[in-house]
Amino acid sequence: MSAAPGRVVLHMPYLLFLGEETNPLKAKTAFGLRDWSAPDCIGQTRLPGGGIDLGLPEMDPAAAAAAGARSLVIGVTPVGGRIPAHWGPLLIAAVEAGLDIVSGLHTPLELVPGLASAAAHSGARLVDVRRPPDNLPRATGKRRSGKRVAMVGTDCALGKKYTALALARAMRGQGVDADFRATGQTGIMIAGAGIAVDAVIADFIAGAAECISPEAAPEHWDLIEGQGSLFHPAYAGVTLGLLHGSQADGLILCHDPLRTHLVSWPDYPVPGLAVARDLYLQAARLTNPGARLVGVSLNTSAMDDAAAQEALERAGRELGVPAFDPMRSRLDQVVASIMG
Structural domain containing residue 173: 147-339
Residue 169 domain-assigned?
yes
Q: Tell me: do 87 and 151 sit in the same domain.
A: no
Residue 120 domain-assigned?
yes
Residue 333 domain-assigned?
yes
Cα 237–Cα 135–Cα 235 angle in degrees, nearest 5: 15
For 201, counting Cβ atoms within 10 Å of its Cβ (0-12 exposed, 13-18 middle, 19+ buried), the class is: exposed
At residue 1 the predicted structure's pLDDT band, cuts being 50, 70 and 90, is very low
| Number of domains present in the structure of the chain | 2
What is the C-alpha separation between 197 and 227, in angstroms, rounded? 8
Residues 48-101 pLDDT 10s: 999 999 999 999 999 999 999 999 999 999 888 899 999 999 999 999 999 999
Residue 135 domain-assigned?
no
Q: Tell me: do 86 and 154 sit in the same domain.
A: no
What is the C-alpha separation between 313 and 298, in angstroms, rounded? 11
Q: What is the pLDDT of residue 28?
A: 86
Per-residue pLDDT at 5 exceeds 70: no
Q: Tell me: do 235 and 274 sit in the same domain.
A: yes
Residue 324 domain-assigned?
yes
